[in-house]
Structure 1
Amino acid sequence: MPITKHNPTGLFPQYRNYSHAVEVSGDSRILFISGLNGYLSDGITMPDSFQEQGEIIWNYIGTILKSAGMGYENIVSLRTYLSSPEYDEPNVQLRMKYLGNNEPALTVICCQLLESKWKLEIEAVAAI
């Protein structure tokens, strides 16, 4: 079963021992997208607002999906980590904006994230 790493340009630099996404292909293709945060493509700058971080992340997800020949409609599972419950409704609104009628399996977790400036992190699984 072939494994393809997806690290398209335009996203923040990869961390050590990390890929932005890994695709497993065979009769079907499954793409595992690592947890993404709101860093701009320089890997240093991050907006303060939840909305801006969320838009950046969802655009990164779209870029990765496109690199694999997929779209938001191919997402089958999402895991979202929020730094505070106050971000639940804005998170739902972003998800609805990008997923449309797609209803993947979903988990939302409130927790302390690795960096204090992160408001959310999202990981996804897509299939075709």
Structure 2
Amino acid sequence: MPIIAHNPAALFPRYRNYSHAVEVTADSRLLFISGLNGYLKDGTSMPETFEAQAEIIWQHIGATLKSADMEYGNIVSLRTYLADPQYDQENVRLRVKYLGDNQPALTVICCRLLESKWKLEIEAVAAA
């Protein structure tokens, strides 16, 4: 299934691991992954640090993709909610770690999250 990145020259330069738009052709499977947080498997505990929470979230995304017979390269869109802009550089580092050369459409939003202990939440769309 071809995934086509659209980065028109008329727009500003794109960021790391990012495309201005991503086209998914017809006859594709789409997987919409709800916003995930850093809860451990018990559903009640999570680490305190941003990095540890983000690692758990990316592992949750990986497990969800695997359940649909997909991988990180199938992600076509990401929306990341950061509790504080101070986490942006670490967020980018981990996104590059897990996405490699994949450059999905991407939005990062800084906002107050539902639980004060959450440092971030990530939702994704994948296609195959």
2:76 is the counterpart of 1:73: no
1:39-58 counterparts in 2 under 5 A? 39-58=39-58
Name the SS for the 2:123 alignment partner. strand
Name the SS for the 2:35 alignment partner. strand
Structure 1 residue 27, shift from structure 2 partner: 2.4
Bigger Cα Rg: 2
2-structure distance, mates of 1:118, 1:101: 28
Matching residue's letter, 1:69: D
Give TM-score scaled by structure 2 length: 0.79
| Identity level (%) | 73
Name the SS for the 1:70 alignment partner. coil
Matching residue's letter, 1:117: K
Give TM-score scaled by structure 1 length: 0.79
Q: Size of the alignment, in residue pairs?
A: 103
Counterpart in the other structure of 2:21: none
1-structure distance, mates of 2:27, 2:122: 27
2-structure distance, mates of 1:101, 1:71: 13
Counterpart in the other structure of 1:105: 105
List structure 1 runs of 4+ shifted beyond 4 angstroms. none
Counterpart in the other structure of 2:33: 33
Counterpart in the other structure of 1:94: 94
Structure 1 residue 28, shift from structure 2 partner: 1.2
1-structure distance, mates of 2:65, 2:117: 26
Matching residue's letter, 1:93: R
Kindly report the root-mean-square deviation, in angstroms, between the aligned alpha carbons of the 2 structures: 0.9
Residue deviations 1:32-70, cap 9 Å, x none?
Answer: 000000000000011000000000000000000000000
